[in-house]
Amino acid sequence: MPSTTSRPRRAGAATPYLFVAPAVVLFLLVLAIPIAYTVYLSLFRIEVSGLGLGKGSRKEVFTGLGNYARTLTDAEMGAGALRVLGYGALLVPTMLLLALVFALLLDEDRARARGFSRIAIFLPYAIPGVIATLLWGFLYLPSTSPFVQLLTELSLPEVDLLSPTGIYFALANIAVWGGVGYNMIVLYTALRSIPRDLYEAARIDGCSPVQVALRIKIPLVVPALVLTTLFSVVATLQVFAEPTTLAPLTNSLSRTWSPLMKVYQDAFARGDVHSAAAASVVIAAVMFVLSFGLLRITRSRAFGGER
Amino acid sequence: MLSLATLIRPEIPMRFDIARKAVAAGLGLALLVGCGSSGGQEPEGPTELSFWAWAPNIEKVVDRWNAAHPDRKVVMSKQAQGDDLVTKLLTSAKAGSGPDLAQVEFQALPTLVSNDVLADIAAHASSVKGEFPDGVWQQVTLGGDGVYAIPQDSGPMMFYYRTDLFEQYGLTVPKTWDEYARTARTLRTKAPDKFLGTFSSNDPGWFAGLAQQAGGSWWSVDGDTWKVSIDDAATKKVASYWSGLVAEGAVDKTPMYTPEWNKALNDGTQIGWVSAVWAPGVLAGNAQSTVGKWAMAPLPQWDAASPRTGNWGGSTTAVTAGSKKQKAAAEFAIWLNTDPEAVAALVTDSGVYPAATKAQTGSALAKPPAFFPAQTDFYATAQRVASTAAGFTWGPNVNVAYTAYKNAFGAAITGGTDLAPALAEMQRATIDDLRASGFKVG
């Protein structure tokens, strides 16, 4: 490691700026400018004169916070937010519980075929959401589904996962299938970094493997659990590809099922980028508040000793 | 980036301004001289035209033009289809990077005209008005003096059925909607696992065609006011008719164009399809195993004494407002859709049903589609049906109405409720959108 005195003294005062320049330029280009432009767009609306068929019959007029008022009072947007909350309430606990159980099992020294199981559970994460949804779509549609055929063979009642209630389970299932592996790897890595001698001490004190898991391993991976929860909540609120791909297959999914689908419809079906921009800003703000709220609540407990 | 554009504008050098004035003067002169002279306002010499389209194999037809017009080369680009292409055209027009020509569906014309994407080519194209049926021509003029596109193909609706299964169950081809309902019920009693058809909440264009047949008129213009009557008496009649069939289980209610529906067409679960003239191409792709087993008949009628049909789909070739070669582009659009050789190629290569009147009696339509080898009079019947197509005015927010259809009808069908309130919801969403954009709505 070079000592501080070996740093060339004559390097100009600009050097540090030169080093941060790429990051700053990228930040401005791909984050700050698009966000500023979105906010700018959200303050305008299109006004049509006459039949709207002549030249120049559409013009942009300043509307202040009008688009925001409309977004916040939009019934479909609110309903979409509720639907996504219901979906998230189903998805996030199931996915993280499964991920934690798998991680604990893989961390157990007596478990067999650990490498293979790890890969097998992780593999669905490598499949793009759209492909996964198409795949599951075939398995859900009664006439192409082997599950439904099996149920009929066994004279069991048919389960319609594409019914208005079933659709929540259908969508959550796709996300659980794709997401468990990723979360499991994060938790498993955290488990592996726990010093082994803690387990030995616990065993000497007479702890069973279950007690080791509950009293030592889980409390020590709480920071990783908080992190995976945060990522899962953010991903849940942004759900778009799965319901969009599944919608043409069923009557139960509207084209504005989730808030982001509504934004897409506004921007590209209605051609109204201004209200879509306002809705995007609102969604981003909600996500921001939610993420930081979640971190604040859990930080004192989870990261107490690390600050 | 609108903000950037406004920032840059003051810096445009003066000579551009002069050039613009010169072009404007040239345009004015050309208009004074008349439109018959070739290349009046546009630079002579070789030029290239860009063309966004999606009809299958249309590049083969374009090649014929390029062989005959080496100085007016058309460069094809398959960017997207249908509604997606509308989105692309809107975006590219804002960015100033659009093509010279584009394939556009009839229902998208008002939306694109309203956004200044399409050029008015009346000066070059008015002379070909007589080549097309009045109802079709009306759709490219939007009822005014402008001409915004050249019609390419139309999609008159017809009824398709499995001849073998109709014979097996002793069914006759329904001529009226009453007969269609009776046939659907009879089939359900004879074969409880089969359906005569399905009501699809996925295909607003299909429902719009059925509404046209019943005499529905969803948008109309009164002075500078739009009138929206999606829930008019004719459309209500169609909605309540299908509502009844779905409620009693006489027809299926799964959407079209899903893996499940493809399978049902293939294995004979669906033994009929209310579709349009382009159906043979779809069946050939989705239900290969049923080749030769289908036949086409006119759509069942509300009033058998005065047969009518509606259009599902159909497209045009349009010239963009941003194009600097509008005259050359319009010439190509006219050639593509009226020249006998070009239209014949469109039929045989792209499998479309041409909109031009003369083309419908041409030799290209003498043979039936390959998927219907036995029905030798396929195109003769198609032509008879096409001549009964009802005219229709599309509004400037068809996409909004279509999304509302998918959401409201889908919800009504899963909820097992009547379709009439869904129609009212479609009407409300369409009017609300027009009002929100500042249109005058009557």
Cβ contacts (< 8 Å) between A80 and chain B: which residues? none
For residue B87, the chain A residue with the least C-alpha distance is: A268
pLDDT digits (tens, 9 = 90+) for A168-189: 999 999 999 999 999 999 999 9
- What is the β-pairing status of strands B72-77 and B47-52? parallel
Higher-pLDDT residue of B187, A143: B187
> What secondary structure does DSSP assign to B104-160, as a single string?
EEGGGHHHHHHTT-B---HHHHGGGGGGS-HHHHHHHHTTSS----EEEEEEEEEEE
Question: Do B50 and B137 belong to one domain?
Answer: yes
Rounded (10°) angle between helices A273-302 and A33-42: 130
Q: Does B219 touch chain A (CB under 8 A)?
A: no
Q: Cβ separation of B111 and A271 shorter than 8 Å?
A: yes
B297 beta partners: B159
Token pair in block for residue A115: 């490498």
Question: Do B68 and B142 belong to one domain?
Answer: yes
Q: Please check whether residue B301 is in contact with residue B73, taking contact to mean a CB–CB distance below 8 angstroms.
A: no
pLDDT-wise least confident of A105-114, A130-139, B111-120: A105-114
Assigned domain for B2 exists = no
- How many helices (H) and strands (E) are present in chain A, helices listed first? 15, 2
Rounded Cα distance between B266 and B102, Å, is 34
pLDDT surpassing 70 at residue A234: yes
Assigned domain for B143 exists = yes
Cβ atoms within 10 Å, residue A305: 6
Q: Does B399 touch chain A (CB under 8 A)?
A: yes
Question: Do B47 and B141 belong to one domain?
Answer: yes
Assigned domain for B67 exists = yes
Assigned domain for B123 exists = yes
Q: Which of residues 233-272 of B touch A (CB under 8 A)?
A: 253-255, 257-260, 263-264, 269
Q: Cβ separation of B258 and A141 shorter than 8 Å?
A: yes
Q: Cβ separation of B257 and A253 shorter than 8 Å?
A: no
Q: Does B87 touch chain A (CB under 8 A)?
A: yes
Assigned domain for B329 exists = yes
Q: Cβ separation of A37 and B433 shorter than 8 Å?
A: no
CATH of the domain at B322: 3.40.190.10
Give the closest residue to B185 by CA, choosing from B251, B244, B242: B251
CA B423, chain centre distance (Å)? 22
Question: Do B77 and B118 belong to one domain?
Answer: yes
Question: Do B410 and B361 belong to one domain?
Answer: no
Question: Do B409 and B328 belong to one domain?
Answer: no
Token pair in block for residue A82: 């509720």
B276 beta partners: B157
Number of domains in chain B: 2
The secondary element (H helix, E strand) that includes residue B386 is helix B378-386
Burial B184-216 (b: 16+ CB within 10 A, else e): bbbbbeeeeebbbbbbbbbbbbbbbbbbbbbbb
Rounded Cα distance between B384 and B382, Å, is 5
User: Who among B2, B87, B258 is closest to A249 (CB)?
Assistant: B258
Measure Cα distances from B195 to A193, B157, B177 in Å: 61, 19, 15
Question: Do B149 and B48 belong to one domain?
Answer: yes
For residue A246, the chain B residue with the least C-alpha distance is: B258
Give the closest residue to B234 by CA, choosing from B196, B188, B177, B191: B177
Question: Do B410 and B348 belong to one domain?
Answer: no
**The domain boundary residue, chosen from B341, B365, B389:** B365
Rounded Cα distance between A183 and A228, Å, is 6
Half-sphere CA count of B119, side-chain side, radius 13 A = 25
Query: Three-state DSSP class for B315?
Result: strand
Token pair in block for residue A128: 């793009």
Q: Mind telling me how many Å the CA of A234 is from chain B's nearest CA?
A: 26
Question: Do B90 and B144 belong to one domain?
Answer: yes
User: Who among A142, A249, A255 is closest to B406 (CB)?
Assistant: A255
pLDDT digits (tens, 9 = 90+) for A255-292: 899 999 999 988 887 778 899 999 999 999 999 998 88
pLDDT of residue B364: 76
Q: Please check whether residue B121 is in contact with residue B148, taking contact to mean a CB–CB distance below 8 angstroms.
A: yes
Structural domain of residue B102, as residue ranges? 43-153+313-365
pLDDT of residue A115: 87
Assigned domain for B387 exists = no
Cβ contacts (< 8 Å) between A251 and chain B: which residues? 201, 253-255, 409-411, 413-414
Question: Do B56 and B145 belong to one domain?
Answer: yes
Measure Cα distances from B169 to B191, B192, B196, B269 in Å: 8, 12, 12, 13
Measure Cα distances from B375 to B201, B212, B428 in Å: 31, 27, 44
Q: Give ipTM to 2 decimals.
A: 0.79
Work out how many CB contacts closer than 8 A connect A with B. 105
Assigned domain for B427 exists = yes
Assigned domain for B261 exists = no
Rounded Cα distance between B341 and B318, Å, is 20
pLDDT, tens digit only, all 442 positions of chain B: 333 333 333 333 333 334 444 444 444 333 333 333 333 455 567 889 999 998 878 899 999 999 999 989 999 998 887 777 888 898 888 888 899 999 999 999 998 998 889 999 999 988 899 998 887 888 898 877 889 999 999 899 999 999 999 999 999 999 999 999 999 999 999 999 999 999 999 899 999 999 999 999 999 888 889 999 999 999 999 999 999 999 999 999 999 988 899 999 999 999 999 999 989 888 988 888 999 999 999 999 999 999 999 999 899 999 999 999 999 999 999 999 999 889 988 888 887 889 888 877 767 788 888 889 899 999 889 989 988 888 888 998 898 899 899 999 999 998 888 999 999 999 999 999 898 888 889 7
The residue behind tokens 């259809």 is B405
Question: Do B47 and B145 belong to one domain?
Answer: yes
Question: Do B66 and B117 belong to one domain?
Answer: yes
Cβ contacts (< 8 Å) between B224 and chain A: which residues? 50-51
Rounded Cα distance between B214 and B157, Å, is 12
Token pair in block for residue A215: 């009293």
Query: Three-state DSSP class for A240?
Result: coil
Domains of chain A in start order, with CATH, are 74-254 (1.10.3720.10)
Query: Three-state DSSP class for B417?
Result: coil
Rounded Cα distance between A195 and B198, Å, is 63
